Structure 1
Amino acid sequence: MAQVRFFAAAEEAVGSPQLTVDATTLQALTASLSDEHPALAEILPRCSVLVDGVRVDGSWPLPGDAVVDVLPPFAGG
């Protein structure tokens, strides 16, 4: 199961800084999260998603011990 960590607005949308999700690909994981958390679904297309520290696309396979970070766009300076 993947450990998914949320930051900033993504954490607010989910209501938790971290969840455990059972998914075999990043696409399956994001679809599951979008279904369970409609507020996250609204911002997820603008988020950067890292798997084990590497930015990847939706078809990326997720190993059972993957750490996924969901990072919304940051503003400021």
Structure 2
Amino acid sequence: MALVRFFAAAREAVGADELIRSEKTLGELRTALVREHPALTDILPRCAVLVAGERTGDEHPLVPDDVIDVLPPFAGG
């Protein structure tokens, strides 16, 4: 199963630093996360979602060893 790590506002919305998930594509993962964690509804569309450190589309297949990072926009330098 894939490991999803949440940062900043996304972590607050989910109430956890990370989750283990079994969705088959990134799009399925996004849909399931919003359904299970409604507080992500406004946050997730603004997040950078990286699979193995790379931006990719919703059709991207997920494999068991994937690490997915959900990074909301943040200010600072």
TM-score class, shorter: over 0.9
4+ runs of 1 displaced by more than 3 Å? none
Q: Partners in 1 of 2:56 and 2:74 — Cα distance?
A: 19
Unaligned runs of 5+ in 1: none
Aligned CA RMSD, in angstroms, stands at 0.7
Q: Following superposition of structure 1 onto structure 2, how do residues 4-23 of structure 1 map, counting pairs within 5 Å?
A: 4-23=4-23
Give TM-score scaled by structure 2 length.
Answer: 0.96
The number of residue pairs the alignment matches comes to 77
Secondary structure of 1:27's partner?
A: helix
Secondary structure of 2:29's partner?
A: helix
Paired residue for 2:68? 68
Secondary structure of 1:42's partner?
A: coil
Give TM-score scaled by structure 1 length.
Answer: 0.96
Unaligned runs of 5+ in 2: none
